[in-house]
Amino acid sequence: MTRRIVLTGTPGTGKTTVSELVAERTGLDVVHLNDEIRDEKLYTERDAERDSLVADVEAIESWLGEWDGIVESHLSHLLDADEAVVLRCHPEELEARLRERGESEAKARENAESEALDVVLSEAVDRFGTEAVYEIDTTDRTPEAVADDVVAAIEGEMEPRAGAVNFIDYL
C-alpha cells in the first residue's frame, strides 16, 4: 500500500532528526526535500535577502513522481500527500536552536514569530483538513520521544489533532 506522509514544521522543530528515527523504526523511505531542492535545482530563484531558495513546487512534484514514504521539509505540506505531521516548538526554544546552528538573529526571530502564529500548521490544515493532520510539540522533548509520537500517528495509534499547541504568548 502506498503511503505518502509529509513531515513538516517551522525550521528548527526537529524534522530531519526525527525523520531519520522514524525511518529506522518503520522502514519507510525519507526524502529530505530541502537537500533535493538544492541538489536537483528545484527552485526558481535565490532570495538573497533571506539567504534561501524559492522552491518550485511544480518541479518538486514532477521530480518526486509517484512517491511513497515520508517527505521531510518546512515546505512538504505544500505537496499532495495522505497525511501531514506538523512538528511544533515553543518560539523561544526554536529561536535558540536556530541561533545555535548559525542562523542570523533576524532569520531566527522571523521563524519564531511564524511558529507563534501557527503558519505551517494553518497551511497544513487548509490543505489536508483536521482529519489528516497530526500536531506534535517537540518543546523540551528528546528526538526519540517525538519519533515515538510520529510513529504512533502514522501507524494509526493516535487520533489526528490540530490546534492543541498554542504559542501566542510569545508575541
Question: Which parts are annotated binding residues for ATP?
Answer: 12, 14-17, 101
Between β-strands 4-9 and 30-32, what pairing exists: parallel, antiparallel or unpaired?
Answer: unpaired
Rounded CA-CA distance 159/4 in Å is 18
Which residues are annotated binding-site positions? 12, 14-17, 101
Residue appearing with cell numbers 530541502: 34
C-alpha to C-alpha distances, 127 to 5, 6, 98, 130, 131, nearest whole angstrom = 13, 12, 27, 9, 11
Instruction: Report the alpha-carbon distance of residue 36 to residue 27 in Å, rounded.
Output: 20
